[in-house]
Amino acid sequence: MTELDTLLDSLLETARKLDAADPLAGFRDRFLEADGVSAYLDGNSLGRPLRATAVHLQDFVREQWGGRLIRGWDEQWLELPQRLGDQLGAAALGAAPGQCIVADSTTVLLYKLARAAVAARPGRTEILLDADNFPTDRYVMEGIAQECGLTLRWVQADYDGGVTAAAVAAAAGPQTALAVFSHVAYRSGFLADAGAITKVVHDAGGLVLWDLCHSAGAVPAELDAWGVDYATGCSYKYLNGGPGAPAWAYVATRHQETFAQPIQGWLGSADPFGMAQGYAPAPGIRRLVSGTPPVLGMLPLQDMVSLIAEAGIDAVRAKSVLLTEYALRAVDALLVPHGVVVASPRGAQRRGSHITIDHPAFKAITAELWKQGIIPDYRNPSGIRLGLSPLSTSFEETFTGVAAVQAELLRRR
């Protein structure tokens, strides 16, 4: 047996022991498996579907849509965005009822929230954001800045890190209208100190909009406790809502009655079925709605929110930390000796549920891994992201993925 064989056996044995001791291991059986896939490490891009969802979608078509027809709107569908928003807020976001709603896409909600925020700070001329934020966040803010005659002020972040309170404090000032940051950075996996950063921006008189796309469902949020103004995120990553699932938004109660809806639609009006001339906004969080709720798209999300509530978001986070710690151990042992660089924070308190590793060959290697049923994802300039979704990813699966990356590196020597 070679030294490498011994190392691989040791790492595999550790993974199996961690799986055996995992209190959440039983939840993995709730998810559908994909034929030919031995390691799915892309839950930070698209979560696996739940078995229950396959049943519920079929039942909905037959019993609710097919059976209740138009009556379904009055009976429950119109209230689903707010009801599900409250459930999500309680299970994963640290939000009291009446502040979350499911609607639109992340892009549309970013626009709505940011546009309302800058309107709430007249006379201020700057939007703060970081150059490494997800492209959509940057593009939407570029458009709003052009619309409103504002200036984008860029906050710099380390390549393997993210936005810090100190960096924000150096950029925020009397012209700050809004700051837009990601709770977990899409590339590095850096977990921002949302509470501290929110306080810094508030001390400067600005408002804060947090993007939770890469944290909601895997990393607990405390939107109320942090004093957050606005937040949004998708539901197809750790919330397992499926391709194109609707996004969600949070508006703190204190901002709702003055929220200037930039996309005025009938279902966000005070009396949608009155069909009156002239728009009057609905009270509370419902004024964030514009058009017809995406009911079919909310069904998978509803199942996953219930599962997170059952497991407990703190237990989900504990599993996430153990998974990423194990992944880093495997990367250090198997990949770093071949020139791979860890481009994510080492400390668990500053890391979300994915890690990024860099190597010049990773773009080609990712394509080869996919052919083998090993599914991470690739992000420029040279990174593989290992997305470890706590309720559906095992430690052995993580080992399989890292070992496959090593095998491809060895093959290229």
The active-site residue, picked from 130, 132, 193, 211, is 211
- DSSP state for residue 132 in the 8-state scheme: T
Whether 29 is catalytic is no
Of the residues 112, 237, 286, 351, only one is catalytic, namely 237
Q: Which of 16, 59, 60, 134 is catalytic?
A: 134
Q: Write down the catalytic residue from 319, 351, 385, 399.
A: 385
* 236 carries an active-site annotation: yes
As to burial, measured by CB atoms within 10 angstroms (0-12 exposed, 13-18 middle, 19+ buried), residue 245 is buried
Phi-psi region of 134 (alpha: psi -120 to 50; beta: other; left: phi over 0): beta
φ/ψ of residue 234, rounded to 5: -80, 175
Question: Residues 111, 144: contact at Cβ < 8 Å?
Answer: yes
Distance, in Å, from the CA atom of 215 to the CA atom of 412, rounded to the nearest integer, reads 35
For residue 53, give the amino acid letter: T
Helix (H) or strand (E) holding 153: strand 151-155
Active site residue 286: no
- To the query of whether residue 211 is one of the catalytic residues in this protein, the response is yes
Given the residues 111, 186, 236, 395, select the one marked as catalytic: 236
Quote the CA–CA distance of 266 and 359 in Å, as a whole number: 51
Q: Could you identify the residue written with the tokens 């940057």?
A: 138
Does the annotation mark 385 as catalytic?
A: yes
CB 345 within 8 A of CB 191: yes
Residues designated as active site: 134, 211, 236-237, 385
